[in-house]
Structures are given as C-alpha cells and as structure tokens.
Structure 1
Amino acid sequence: MIHKKNIYRAMLVISFLAINAVIIYGIAAAWSFLNTGADKSSMLHIGQDLEMIYQPKIKWTLEKQKGRKMEKQTLVDLEKDYLGAWYAKNLALNNYVYDGIADYYTQDARSSLLELLEHNKSIDIQTKSTTLLHHPTLEFYSLDGKLVVLTDHNVEQYDQVYESGNFIHAKKSKSTYKVIMLLEDGFWRIRQLIKVSSEHLPVSVLDKTEDIPVQGLKGINYYPKEQAWNMFGDQFNEQAIKTDFALLEKMDMNAIRIFVPYEASGGANLKNEYLEQLSTLLDIAQEHNLKVLITLFDFYGNYSISDWTLTHRHAEQLVTHLKDHSSLLGWDIKNEPDLDFEQRSETLVKAWLTEMVQQIREWDASHPITIGWSNPGAATHLSEYVDFVSFHYYEDAEELPARYSKLKENVDKPIVLQEYGKSSYSGFWNLFLGSQSGQAKYHSNIQTFLNKEQLPFFIWTLHDFDHIPNSVVGKLPWRKAYQKRFGLLNNKGEKKPAYDVIIKNGKGDN
C-alpha cells in the first residue's frame, strides 16, 4: 500500500512539473510573437538581409544638421531603413510586389505609391530600377528623436521600362529628393519623398590621348596546373605560382591574365584572403617582370538590375585595393559576356557592362579597361567605351587574317588577341584526330600572323589540366577531355612541341 502511495505521489509531481513546463513554454512563445516587431529582418516580407541584396553607395553630410545631435546607432538604423524603402519601391515597380511598402512607408506615403503601382499594373508597365549613389544631407533631427528631415542630393538611378514584357527604353538619371521620415514602432518610415530636380545622365565616352600600354604584350591566360579555375582561397599555392612565373619570364613572356570568381570570392563582400592572395600574386609577377590583366567577374551571369549594386561593391573592393600596384596592367570586366546575350538579353548585358566601365573609371583613372569578347565579330560591341578591344579566337588559323581585318575596320582602338589556342587531345571523343604536332602547327600559323601584325596576345594556356570543373564546360566527357589539353606543358609538366614554337617566335631561349 505504501509503495502505491509513493507511485501516486511521484506521478502527481511529474504531472505538476509537466504542466508548468507547458505554461512556461506558452508564455515564452507568446512573448516571442509579441516582440517579433523588434526584429526588422523577420518583420519584412522581403525575407533577406538587405545588405545581401542591395548596396548602393551612400555618403552622408551631417555638418549642417539642426535640432538634436544624431546618435551613431540612430544614423545606422536610419540609413538601413532609408535604403530599405528604396529597395521596396524598386521591387514593387518591377514585380508589382508590395511586400515591404507598409514596413518602410507611413500610411499617408504608401497610399500615393500604391496608387502609382496599381496604375502601372493596369497598363502593364514595369520599371526595372536601382539606385547607385546617394548623397543625403541631414537637415533636421527632432528633439524627441522621432522625426528626420533630409535632402538626398544627386541620387544616381538607372531605369529600364517595359510594356507588356517588351523593352521600351532605358535611362540613367541624377535627381535630388526632399525626404521626411518618422520613427514608428522602432523603425524609420518615409512620410514624404518629393523629387525637386532631375536630369538625364548620358553615358560618358572615353577621352584619352595617351598611348594604351598593350603594344608588345606577350602573355598567358594563367592557372596553376593543380588549381585550374580554382587558384584562390584554400587552393592558393604560392610556390607553384613562383615556379610558373619564373618559367614565363624565361620564355620571354611579359604578361598574364587571371580571373577572379565572383561567388567564390565573396561577391559584394569580398573575402580578405582573396585580396591578400591577389596582392601576393601581383608581387610575384613584379619579381618576374610580368604585367597582370585582371578579369573581375568570372562565373557571373546574372546582370539583373537589382544585382548591380552588389557587383559594384565587388569591383570597387578589387579595384581600390590593387590599383596602385606597379605590376597591374588593367581591368577586364567580364569573360565572354556575349555568350549570355541569348539567355539574359543583349540589352541587359550591355547595360551592365557599360555601367561597370563607368564605375571603374571613378575608382581608377590610370589603368585601361577592356572586355573579353568570345570572337572577333562580337568585339565591336561597346568598343567606344573601352580603352582597348579584346577578342578570343579558337577557329581555323587560316581564317584569322580576314576576321581580324574586318574587326580592325570597325574599331578605332588598340586590339588584343586575349585568348587563343588549340587542344592536343587525341582520343575516343574526337576520333583520335588531335595531336601535339597539330597543336604546334596551329600555334606556328597564329604566331606568324601575330608577328606580322604586331598584335598583342595572351595564349590559352600554360598547363594541361587533369581536372576541369563542371561549371566550366559542363559534364559531357568529350568537352572535358578536349578542354584538358590546351597547355604548352603536358600534365606531367613536360614541354610540348607548341612550347618550342612559342620560344622560337619570341626572343627567349630554351
């Protein structure tokens, strides 16, 4: 009997504890729900950290502010909510998605905005838009800390307008806005946003008279043998680079072209290790008298206007970090962007490229800019905006003179053959038709033409590779096998006949 009483008592105690645990959990859940308004990231329908999707340049002026002195953390919060309002507006104009409008605009302000959105929707007008640069001046901050007046000067904005899905026109403008913001529920919301001035910004065209330093370039598109398309980050091999650059110097090469992968390097938030490794590579290049052409965007293909500010921050960090290095040759915006015309639209790709050229000129006015087009015909695109024209060539050597002559007639800029080469692969996937001797003959024919025209060049590439990432040519074995054997050195590091052709046509010796 005593034993049964103990069991009952134990069961009562356990039941009491369980009931209390449930009550405490319920109170905690309710408290968490009631306080979700304090977390803007979960409050917003946008659903992402704003810094991951939108990073326009913003430069504050605070010296003339009246009223209460602005606290540092308040300025951080104000800036985040102000940019969030712009992003929410741009998103709504593009997709008729109203998520975030209520979060960033007061009731009075959002009524007129929603009226505009509904009108655009009724006539099937979409505006793909982003702001690139803000210069807000803080005019007034109320004593109670709940009202801010600012003037956002010379806001640079890019817009593309579509009607029923068809592109109508694009423009870049510079406008000034008067803004009133109120603090509601712990967040800054726009009460009033009035445009007080606006002007159209034409795309600036290059105006340089000095010689572009590409004449006499003899270069290699470079990856280390064991780090093809993946030479930075954990794969960075300083010793392999030193060995290869010493060999290139012996070959009388004077330049290399390298590639920065967009996503792997951190995108808009570039990893410090990539910047440090790039600096190290340029240091090694300087030791071996090599100039470095840096392709800023590899494995990037979005081009979406909503993505522009992120790509700008990526390029800005690279350019400002490396622009003063003495071994830097210049900037190559993108590798073969014309291959994205069909999928991403020629209009969008060219708009992104043009704006990127403009941005880089703001950060570095000393080094030349180019774009690496996939063939001579495509290289006429945007030639008026670059410092020198770059094209790639992997077709018959006999057809190069005519293709080059036509390009030369259509552009009035220095020209560089930025990639050329031939695979020596001989195997099942190409019916055993390739050979090292055929590769050497191809290089000999091309080099003869290059010497005659004094055309600067970058060969593809120094090494044969054992591993090709799927992201480069896909998974098809015949494409991978062919891509592995473009090197002047085989996968054992031994010189192929094409190596001797390059030596013979240069000034170096074996």
Structure 2
Amino acid sequence: MKKNKIIYRIFIIAVFILVNAAVIYGISQVIAYLNTGADSSKILHLDIARTDYYLPEVTWVSIDNPGRPLAHENQKKIEQDYLDAWFVKNLALENNNTDGIYDHYTKSAREKVNALIAFNTAQKIAVRSTILNHHITLDFYSADGTVAIITDRRVSGIEKIYKNNKFITQREFNEDYRVILLLEDGFWRIRHFEKLAINEIAAAINSIPVGINQIKGLNYYPEKYPWDTFNRNVTSKTFAADFKIIKELDLNTIRVFIGYSDFGKAHVDVNKLEKLSILLDEAQKANLKVMITLFDFYGNYDIKNWTLTNQHLKAVVMKVSDHPALLAWDIKNEPNLDFVNRDKERVLSWLSQTIKALKQIDSIHPVTIGWSSHKAALTLKNEVDFISYHYYQNLEDLSKVHNSLKQETSKPVLLQEIGLSSYDGFWSFGGKDKEDQASFYTALLKIQKRDSINYLFWTLYDFDKIPNDVAGSLPWRKNKQAYFGIIDSAGVKPAYTSLKNN
C-alpha cells in the first residue's frame, strides 16, 4: 500500500513538471513570435524566393546621414522591403486587387494606391509594369532607426495599358520620387511617396555598325557538344582546332549561342562566362570575329521577368563587351516563332526593352535580331543596327529575296543562317544527299559573290545526337537536323570542298 502511494506521488509530480514545462515553452514561443518581424516572402503572397521574381538594377547614390549612420545590414533591409513594395504595387495594378498592399504601405499611402485600383477597376483598365532601375539617395535616417527618407531618381521602367483585356498602349517612364519609410513589425513600410518629376527617357545611344558589310562565316557548335558550346568538357584546344579549320576555309566570322538557363538565368554562372572568354580568346588568335546570340531557349517574355533577363544581360555583356574578337550582339534566335504561343506584342516589347538595356551597357557594338525568315526580317528595323534573317527555302529565290530587303532599308543585311541537310536515310522522304549538298554550296557561293551577300551558313559538323528540345522527338526531323555539317565522322564532306574551292 505504501509502495503504491509513493508511485502515485511520483506520477503527480512528473505530470506537474511536464505541464509547467509545456506552459513555459508555449509562453517562450509567443514571446519569440511577437519579437520577430514577418517574413516578407510570405507577405508577398508568393511561394518563391525573393531573388527569383524581381531584380531591378539598384544604385545607392549616397547613404551619408548627419545623425545615425546607416549600417550595411540596415541599408540592405531598407532596399529589400522598398523593392518588395514596388513589386506588390505593380502586381496590384495588374490584377486590380489589394493583396499585399496592407503589408507594405501604411494607412495614408494605402489610400492612394487603393484609390487608383478602384478607378482602374471601374474603367476596366489593367496596368502591367516593371521597374528596371533605381538610384537611391538617403536624405534622413532617424536616431532610433525607425524612419528613413529617401529620394529615388531616374526610376525607369515600362508600363503597358490594357482595357477590357485588350492591349491599348505602352509607355516608357523615367521618374523621380521622394519616399518616407517606417520600420514596423520588423520590416519597412512606405508611409508616403510623392512623384517629384516626370522625364522622358533619353534617346537610345546610337550604336556604330562596325565590320558588318564583309561577313562570311558559319554558325558554330563543337562536334561532340551540339547546342552545348560551353560544356565544362569543351576546352581551349577544342576551340583552337575548330577555329583553325574555319580559318582555312577563308571565313572570318562565327556565330555562337548563349542559353539563358544554361548560363544560370539571372544569376549567371561565372564558369560559363570564363568559357565564353576562352572562346573569344581563341577566336582572336585565329583572326575570327564572333557574333554572340543571347537568350537562346528563352521563352517567358512577361514584363515581371524583365528585371531578371536584364541582370543576365548585364553579366554577359559587361564580361566581354571590350573583347577585340566581339563583332556584334544578336538579341535572340528566331523570336518570331514565339508570336503565336507567347503573344506577338509581348515578344516585341521584351525585344525592344532588351535592345535599350544592352545599348546602355555597350554603345559600341551593333545589335541585331535573328529572325527565322525574310518575311519577319524588317520587324523592329528602326531599333536594330543591321537586319538578319534565315533562309531555308528555294535557293533560286534567294537573290530576289535578299535584294528586296536591301531596297527596303539602308542598314546592312545579313543572311544569318542558310544550309542544306545531306540526310538521305529511311526518314528522308526524298531528301538530299552529300552530292546535293555540295552542289547547293557551289550555287550559293555563286549568288553570294554576284550579289555581295553577307552570310553565315549552318554548320561546321554533323552531330551524333540532337536534343529533343531543338528538333522534337520525331525521327525525320531529328535526323535531318543532324546532317547539316560539312564535316562528318569520316572526315570532310563534298560540301567542304565546294566551300574550299570558292
């Protein structure tokens, strides 16, 4: 009996201890919660990391403050929450709802945003926009670290207006703002924002077309790495050997392709950039010029992603823009093929803003767009420095097509892709063989010399494997794509001789 009482008392004491421990733990969690600021990624109502959705170019012009110095970590926190406020506002104006506005703007600032949303909703207007650049000056930072006043000048971006879900117009803006921010619940909210001035974006810097009128060359991939030029296994020796062959054909230019995802999207892979520099170095040694096609395999032209593609663009262009082997920039390969599925207006808007962004970084090298056909070649003709088109139609019509383009523009015209597959296997359905390919190049060079056509043919090598995302999985398409080269696994093809002898 006595033993049972002892056990009972031990049980009571143990329960008491556990209950008190649970209460203390619960109180500590509540205190920790109350002392922790909200997660701004949750506030944004998004399930993605912050760096994946908004990366405008931000320059802090000055952080001088006569009172409390602005520590680096506080500066980054102000910047992050300030950019989040812009992003949430842009989303709100696009969808005409107030999601996230409460969390990023105080009451007085919310009234201005909500009034604008209410007006747009009544008029059935939607505004899709993105900010590309901020230039921030710190005007005041309170001694207790809870108030910051900034001036944000040259806030530049793009704004598209829709009414009844129909695109109406687009404008570029470059504006100045005075902004007051308050630190509440661990993050900065906008208390007041005021537009100080509205300026037109400065005219785009004119690029100088250099060396575009004497191009003869090819579109290049290494033999074992089609559509993967910057694979880690490709070395300087690979480039040197291939460029020696190209130079022996009396060619002077190659076109290479940078994949958006392959290079790391907005966070560009430094190893890929280094491999690009190596390629340019070897081209320089071989006395070859290089045209770089950007944004290969990119297909999301949404305005919300423009800050991301601009970060990618900046990293690539700043790395190699001063290299002596660089000839020109090609914004994207065959973007008109995306007109149907990605919306033509959206594609063209992205192309236009990307051209402007590139020219702000590199005002020397000319810019073009690699259109898939001569019918699309004059699209955005006023924004590029030379016209580029691809031609895989009847060779007999090439002269007429090319000269027609030259008559419609004063800018240089480049036949950026042309070639003939020598695949004559089971899936060829009357395809051409190696001798047909050789005859094709003999005829092409005759036309090229007569009409002074700048050209880049497709391509140096036949390839063992063609990626599905290039030509799909259908064998008659993949096999045909594998045999455009003038060199195969057995050596040079007759087409090589045709080029060599001309």
Q: Identify whether the pair has TM-score above 0.5, normalized to the shorter chain.
A: yes
SS in 2 for 1:449: helix
Q: Deviations over 1:433-478 (max 9, x none)?
A: 3211111222222111111122121111001111111111222222
Contact map agreement 1:172 1:202 (CA 8 A) in 2: no
Contact map agreement 1:231 1:237 (CA 8 A) in 2: no
Matched, 1:146 2:143: no
In structure 1, what is the equivalent of residue 243 of structure 2?
A: 245
What amino acid maps onto 2:497 in structure 1? D
Q: Bigger CA drift: 419-428 or 18-27?
A: 18-27
SS in 1 for 2:37: helix
What TM-score comes out, normalization by structure 2 length?
0.92
- C-alpha displacement of 1:11: 11
Q: Bigger CA drift: 223-232 or 163-172?
A: 223-232
In structure 2, what is the equivalent of residue 508 of structure 1?
A: none
CA distance in 2, matches of 1:440, 1:355: 42
Distance 1:98 1:440, change over 3 A: farther
CA distance in 1, matches of 2:422, 2:17: 76
What amino acid maps onto 2:501 in structure 1? K
CA distance in 1, matches of 2:94, 2:469: 30
Q: Deviations over 1:221-255 (max 9, x none)?
A: 11111111112243434332222111112222211
Matched, 1:285 2:279: no
Contact map agreement 1:206 1:385 (CA 8 A) in 2: no
In structure 2, what is the equivalent of residue 403 of structure 1?
A: 401
Q: How does 1:335-414 map to 2 (within 5 A)?
A: 335-414=333-412
Distance 1:69 1:277, change over 3 A: same
What amino acid maps onto 2:47 in structure 1? G
- C-alpha displacement of 1:403: 1.0
Query: Size of the alignment, in residue pairs?
Result: 501
CA distance in 2, matches of 1:85, 1:148: 15
Q: Bigger CA drift: 53-62 or 173-182?
A: 53-62
CA distance in 2, matches of 1:223, 1:337: 20
In structure 2, what is the equivalent of residue 418 of structure 1?
A: 416
CA distance in 1, matches of 2:27, 2:483: 66
Q: Considering only aligned residues, what root-mean-square deviation do their CA atoms show, in Å?
A: 2.8
In structure 1, what is the equivalent of residue 493 of structure 2?
A: 496
In structure 2, what is the equivalent of residue 476 of structure 1?
A: 474
What amino acid maps onto 1:117 in structure 2? I
CA distance in 2, matches of 1:134, 1:392: 38
Contact map agreement 1:61 1:136 (CA 8 A) in 2: yes
What amino acid maps onto 1:498 in structure 2? A
In structure 2, what is the equivalent of residue 187 of structure 1?
A: 187
Matched, 1:99 2:99: yes
CA distance in 2, matches of 1:18, 1:471: 60
CA distance in 2, matches of 1:14, 1:439: 90
What amino acid maps onto 2:440 in structure 1? Y
Q: Deviations over 1:179-222 (max 9, x none)?
A: 111011111110011112113337537365xx631222221111
Matched, 1:257 2:249: no
- C-alpha displacement of 1:119: 2.5
CA distance in 1, matches of 2:236, 2:84: 42
CA distance in 1, matches of 2:492, 2:26: 73
In structure 1, what is the equivalent of residue 165 of structure 2?
A: 165
In structure 2, what is the equivalent of residue 67 of structure 1?
A: 67
What TM-score comes out, normalization by structure 1 length?
0.91
Matched, 1:316 2:278: no
- C-alpha displacement of 1:340: 1.3
Q: How does 1:106-117 map to 2 (within 5 A)?
A: 106-117=106-117
Contact map agreement 2:40 2:81 (CA 8 A) in 1: no
% same residue:
41
Contact map agreement 2:36 2:186 (CA 8 A) in 1: no
Distance 1:447 1:185, change over 3 A: same
CA distance in 1, matches of 2:232, 2:14: 54
Contact map agreement 1:316 1:363 (CA 8 A) in 2: yes
In structure 2, what is the equivalent of residue 430 of structure 1?
A: 428
Distance 1:447 1:29, change over 3 A: farther
SS in 1 for 2:329: strand
In structure 1, what is the equivalent of residue 46 of structure 2?
A: 46
Contact map agreement 1:391 1:416 (CA 8 A) in 2: yes
Q: Which runs of 5+ in 1 are unaligned?
A: 506-510
CA distance in 1, matches of 2:287, 2:207: 29
SS in 1 for 2:462: coil
- C-alpha displacement of 1:328: 1.0
- C-alpha displacement of 1:40: 2.7
Distance 1:203 1:381, change over 3 A: farther
1:455 to 438, 453, 456: 453
SS in 1 for 2:476: helix
What amino acid maps onto 1:495 in structure 2? V
CA distance in 2, matches of 1:338, 1:198: 34
Q: Which runs of 5+ in 2 are unaligned?
A: none
Contact map agreement 2:371 2:388 (CA 8 A) in 1: yes
Distance 1:233 1:104, change over 3 A: farther
- C-alpha displacement of 1:19: 8.6
What amino acid maps onto 1:39 in structure 2? D
SS in 2 for 1:377: helix
CA distance in 2, matches of 1:202, 1:137: 21
Matched, 1:229 2:212: no
Distance 1:235 1:207, change over 3 A: closer
What amino acid maps onto 1:301 in structure 2? G
Q: How does 1:71-90 map to 2 (within 5 A)?
A: 71-90=71-90
CA distance in 1, matches of 2:11, 2:446: 95
CA distance in 2, matches of 1:23, 1:253: 80
Contact map agreement 2:205 2:363 (CA 8 A) in 1: no
CA distance in 1, matches of 2:349, 2:74: 36
What amino acid maps onto 1:41 in structure 2? S
